[in-house]
Structure 1
């Protein structure tokens, strides 16, 4: 009788241990799937195919500008490599990002957020420094927000750039103009926020 009782205890331990190990290894096998699920966005905005990043969006990737290799001959490979080298970009392009100066954060609307005296000084000194660099500006794009407009006005005076050539872009306002791609799990869009549809890049 005691032996039968001991067998039942041992059987229960073995079955319990086996079930626990099975569940553990099953979970480990599913970990990659869980990681993918956890990284998915929590918002319901559908992502269109056009929003996926295309590194050759302007078709200027050197490989797309050169005729492919026709055969394995050394002459053909040399021809391909020479043409590829000619298509590689030699120039350097600089993109300068400038944040607005300090502003008043009392009002509820953008029109109330003017630069403070410190913010005006920050904009002026930024413009002076940019002028010292001697950069030739091909294009200047400014957000339509009040604080950005005021900052740009002071900078433009210092770098002697024609204000008529400045492009004022509403896409540079606060907030995401489109849903982020690739998706991020911690992003929380504002309620009733409308998004633009992103085209191919």
Structure 2
């Protein structure tokens, strides 16, 4: 049975125009009889509730303030001609001890060890030929990388202290962070974050002949900042999303300067009841 579903968009603000669209949907063909029946039984939507809102105050979709910068990594003139890509997997460390101010005591909890093991198993079972493993210099990342590497068996694990956790950029909204920075309780480390971002996030080298798959075990703030910078999203947006422990964020850098995010904070490899982010 075919039915028409009417979608009406009420005028929102001066920049948004009234629009309506009709879509022909064959529920039996696309969704099956049971799902079609569920559609028929769904209560009326709350579209009329929009009338109660201050329509002048509702936001509209916005475009990027700047066009895509094809030379964002400073390597456009050395563009690889072989069309290879770099796959970069940013993995947050496992849950760790937080009731201490001594860095070397911030070691993985029992749960954190389990999370790292699940991540390692998932990476090994993916049958991807990973080409590089890098860890930050903090104990929780080192322990996470060690457990993951039990499944991957890298002969060489690189360590980079520039990947250590830090406060990359003043977020928007800034909240209490403005006072923390002004009073010296918090240090902005944008220079270091920029340095390490360009060290690891860039298009393939001109002499690269095959796709690469690189693993970086680091920290939530670093990963979120990298994602914003790589996708050319305003850097002050980094605190607007969160990452579970041992989640996997997958970026792809193409030969011509495109960056595609295949997933942010994927934790499908960790059972629901064993996930954590603090």
TM-score by length of 2: 0.37
Q: Which has the higher strand share?
A: 2
Select the structure of larger CA radius of gyration: 1
Which of 1 and 2 has higher RCO (CA within 8 Å, sep 6+)? 1
Q: Which has the higher helix share?
A: 1
